[in-house]
Structure 1
Amino acid sequence: MVQQDGVMHHPILRQIGEIADAFQLETYVVGGFVRDLFLGRTSKDIDIVCVGDGMVLAEAVAKYKEVPVSLFKSFGTAMLQWDGWEIEFVSARKESYQLHSRNPNVSIGTLSDDQMRRDFTINAMAISLNKKDYGRLLDPFNGQKDLADRVIKTPCDPGRTFSDDPLRIMRAIRLAAQLHFSITPETLLAMTAAGDRLGIVAQERISEELHKLMATDRPSYGFKLLFDTNLLSIVLPELQKLSGKEQIGCHSHKDNFLHTLEVLDNLVNHSSKLWLRWAAIFHDIAKPLTKKFDPIHGFSFHGHEDLGARMLPKLFKRMRFPISKEVLGYVQKLVRLHLRPIALAKEVTDTAIRRLLYEAGDDLEDLFLLCRADITSKNEVKVQQYLANFDKVKKRVLAVETRDKIRNFQPVITGAVIMETFALKPSAQVGLIKEAIKEAILEGKIKNEYQEAFNYMLMIGKQYAL
């Protein structure tokens, strides 16, 4: 018997078991809930397998709880919410696949059949909910041992498992990062061999797994696994192309792929924001396209931040990432500006700081986090020196912000004021005058106060003979 309180004293599972007994349905809790039970992890998802008609059990549970239930009869599944828990019911089944699709052909099966179709041994364990043997563990593939050994492997032939449903490749990597598990060598080999099969998986599903990977406390481990299995060139080739050092004479450059993962690790320690983490992945994405070599100065990547930001719209569309200003615009901004704070350490002028404040806007703090995470080196003395310079710049930036209130400012002189003053219609000239006023404020020539800005506008008008 499984003695974990999570099952023995779980009121929802007890009630489902009682309802199943009333309908004489052999019923089990399976999958991630059981896995997490042994690991001591919290879970709000429950998967129920019913040997018989799972739809009948789902509808009976929904009626008892007086909650709606969603039925997916073609897949033999149902789903409902119960006090914050998401419960999925499925009839025990067999699955078979065709080469061109990861959607299975489903037929009625036994519990053993259902366990055999599971992705990994640690997700194939089942616990009985029926009164006669409540809490009994059925673990035909030694998932409990694999949990103890902290390994991920498939219950059946891994080549067949990943060929049938290639999304399991991404799940294996995400799960390894989530649980800090390793993947067995034979499983890794099968993942590599089945890589081309990812082409039959909808991009949205792949990206969903990448987002889950990115949300773990060690996403770099997952990206390293993708690289080691040659899957990164399929999933995110731009990141894979960052890999590799190069040396010519006494000049060399670091491995920008490993540097990117180090930046990601640094950032993960300070923020859980999904798109800030993606900004870390993309911050150097254009370095391969901007790499140049000079015999005197060595390697350079001038302009990689601007080109990287321009690459993102096409990349986001391909990855089915959101292309809204709030997401794409945010990541572009961070990629484009990620060198700016460090560059200010060479010459910290109020004008340069005001421009940074204006361009970063509400994302200044996230930009600071990214920039600080970007300070990496094997030379610890060098790292500490850069960090000290960065802290000096940050302090100065915040001081200028407190004094000038430049962040997200809008010039007090609007286009309407310009048109009314000079009797102009909407035109490029109005935009030029407005831009000149904004530049004067950023340069510190005038304050963003109405009368001072109005007088400056009149001076510009004279230059345009208005």
Structure 2
Amino acid sequence: MTLTPQELYIINEVAEAASSLKVRAFVVGGFVRDKVLGRPCVDIDIVCLGDAIELAKAYQSRLSFNPKLSWFKNFGTAHLNVNGYDVEFVGARKESYQADSRNPTVEPGSLQDDQERRDFTINALAFEITILPVDPHTNLLKSDFTIQIIDPFNGLSDLADGIIRTPLLPEKTFSDDPLRMMRAIRFASQLGFTISSPTLLGIADASHRIKIISQERITDELNKIMMSAKPSVGLDLLYKTGLLKEIFPPMVDLAGAEYIDGKGHKDNFYHTLQVIDNVCLNTNNLWLRWAALLHDIAKPATKRFEDGIGWTFHG
């Protein structure tokens, strides 16, 4: 794992703050995943075995430029931006959910509790924050030092194999937070990973529960799929698991080909996926990608067969 000089500075200052409070703290989640993969990441999630807000305040006090600190006492979280890095502090916790709600009951927990509540094994990786040895000539981590990753669910193996898998039973993970189903598909689309068979079946079985998630959060995940290098991967998974039918029924209506007197039309769903992938080769503009996705959206409503002509989609 390679850390930039700025990342080393952030982690070592947090380590000093944690030491002054005599608490243990860990970097957990997407930052560890992306660093192992060699991907850039500017979101650093820090889990504290203690009062996360007090740790964040102690960390802020060590910084000469005094960045703005935001904290949320009801949730026990704090956040600040350090030279372009979003650093978030949270106390280790365990959560439980009611079947019809996305608002968890939260209580203090251990690091293991915190890792168990993560969505996927690749996001349950952690390392303890301690003073890291820096090479004074390069400002990088000393080459003879290895960061020990805490990996209770074989997430490193899943990263190496390109597998997305839940740390607990899929029905438990997706029941707690149904948006995780879309996150699994988003990661598959962004990283080019494969969703494990049990996890994929779990998504299909729980797809109806996506209805309890707000439209804003669904749209946010869908936009992230649209901005991946090959959106067709995610859109096809949404279709095959039944999620697309729940969140965007008109897209599902495009699927399938119909034949009369030996004359058929193309499957407009998979045609649309080809179009959006081709558009994505030339633009990162989200709205152009959406235009490609919607270019045939009215065809199911206007489709008809005319004798002597065949299939037509003109209104």
Of the candidates 185, 189, 197, which is equivalent to residue 209 of structure 2? 197
Q: Please name the residue that 1:414 is paired with.
A: none
Cα separation, 1, equivalents of 2:147 and 2:196: 30
Shift of 1:99: 1.1
AA of the residue aligned to 1:108? P
Partner of 1:89: 89
Aligned partner (choices 306, 310, 313) of residue 294 of structure 1: 306
Match of 2:239 in 1: 227
Root-mean-square deviation (Å): 1.6
SS state of the match for residue 194, structure 1?
A: helix
Any idea what the Cα deviations from partners look like across 1:92-129, whole Å, max 9, x if unmatched?
Answer: 00111111111211100010100000010000000111
Which structure 2 residues correspond to residues 59-458 of structure 1 after superposition, within 5 A? 59-65=57-63, 66-131=66-131, 135-303=147-315
In structure 2, how many angstroms separate the alpha carbons of the residues matched to 1:218 and 1:114? 32
**Structure 2 partner of 1:33:** 31
Q: Contact 1:21–1:131 (CA<8 Å) still a contact in 2?
A: no
Letter of the 1:210 partner, please give it: L
* Counterpart code for 2:228: T
User: 1:4: Cα distance to partner?
Assistant: 3.2
How far apart are 1:237 and its partner, in Å?
A: 0.5
Normalized against structure 1, the TM-score is what? 0.63
- 8 Å contact kept, 1:176–1:182: yes
What's the offset of the Cα at 1:214? 0.8
Give me the whole-angstrom Cα distance separating, in 2, the residues matched to 1:134 and 1:281: 45
Tell me, in whole angstroms, the C-alpha distance in 2 between the residues paired with 1:180 and 1:160: 25
Structure-2 separation of matches of 1:265 and 1:72: 41
Q: Distance in 2 between matches of 1:7 and 1:292?
A: 63
Q: Equivalents in 2 of 1:296, 1:63: separation in Å? A: 79
Q: Structure 1 or 2: larger helix share?
A: 1
Residue 379 of structure 1: aligned partner: none
Residue in 2 that maps onto 1:10: 8
The amino acid across from 1:249 in the alignment is: D
- Tell me, in whole angstroms, the C-alpha distance in 2 between the residues paired with 1:75 and 1:191: 28
Unaligned runs of at least 5 residues, structure 1: 304-466
Moved more, 23-32 or 134-143: 134-143
Identical-pair percentage: 50
Which structure has more RCO (C-alpha within 8 Å, separation ≥ 6)?
Answer: 2
**Which amino acid in structure 2 is aligned with residue 15 of structure 1?**
E
Distance 2:126 2:42 in 1: 17
Shift of 1:5: 3.7
Distance 2:11 2:130 in 1: 10
Q: Would you say the 8 A contact 1:7–1:13 is kept in 2?
A: no
CA distance, structure 1, for counterparts of residue 306 and residue 131 of structure 2? 77
Superposition deviation, residue 250 in structure 1: 2.7
Kindly indicate whether the alpha-carbon contact (under 8 Å) linking 1:30 and 1:48 is maintained by their aligned counterparts in 2.
yes
- Report deviation, 1:9: 6.9
**SS where residue 107 of structure 2 aligns?**
strand
After superposition, the C-alpha distances for 1:107-153 in whole angstroms (9 at most, x for unaligned) are 00010100000010000000111249993211000100000010101
Match of 1:407 in 2: none
Question: Per-residue deviation at 1:21?
Answer: 1.2
Task: State the 1:7 CA deviation.
Answer: 8.9
**Higher strand content, 1 or 2:** 2
Maintained 8 Å contact 2:46/2:87: yes
Stretches of structure 2 that go unaligned for 5 or more consecutive residues are 133-144
CA-to-aligned-CA distance 1:71-90 (integer Å, 9 cap, x gap): 11222211100001001101
Distance 2:53 2:243 in 1: 38
Is this contact kept in 1: 2:122–2:155, CA < 8 A? Answer: yes
**CA drift at 1:19:** 1.3
- TM-score between the two structures when normalised by the length of structure 2: 0.92
Q: Give 2:182's aligned amino acid.
A: M
Worse-superposed segment, 38-47 or 12-21: 12-21
Kindly provide the amino acid, as one letter, of the partner of residue 278 in structure 2: N
Q: What's the CA shift for 1:63?
A: 2.1
How far apart, CA to CA, are the structure 2 residues paired with 1:5 and 1:227?
Answer: 38
Q: Give the letter for the 2:183 counterpart.
A: R
